[in-house]
Amino acid sequence: MHRKTAFAYAVILALVASLNYLPIPGIVDAEGRTFGIFALDIYDDALHIASALWALVAGVLSTRASRMFLILFGALYFLDGLLGTYAGSGFLDLGIFTWGVLDISYTLKFLSSVPHLLLGGFALYIGFKR
């Protein structure tokens, strides 16, 4: 299960990295926001590509490597989501250092953090599951 999940994360993260570059109506609005909520930039794309490669390598290597990926990735992404819920920017894409605490509504902070909270939380769940 750990290896299959790591492979699934590799695909999901690669797709996320490509969102800004695929001409799919309704994904990126005229202001460059994905789903009208958050803007993905080159730092986000680099983070998602690196994470996808990490997931792919872990899945190819072993169950142990996949489990370690899920636990470490999950912890990092979940913590990034928690920070994003508070600050509106996270640490993984260096946004907290670049933009600081954003003056936007809590709803928007939460909605833009949901992907990392869900990805991180599910990865932790599967990673700690035997």
Counts of helices then strands in the chain (DSSP H, E): 5, 2
Q: Nearest 5 degrees, angle CA 50-CA 55-CA 59? A: 150
Place 19 in a pLDDT band, splitting at 50, 70 and 90. Answer: confident
- Rounded to two decimals, what is the model's pTM? 0.84
DSSP 8-state assignment for residue 31: T
pLDDT of residue 9: 97
Q: Nearest 5 degrees, angle CA 55-CA 58-CA 59? A: 85
Average pLDDT, the chain: 87
pLDDT of residue 94: 81
Count CA atoms within 13 Å of residue 67 on its CB side: 7
Instruction: List the beta bridge partners of residue 38.
Output: 34
> Percentage of the chain surpassing pLDDT 90?
52
Place 65 in a pLDDT band, splitting at 50, 70 and 90. Answer: very high
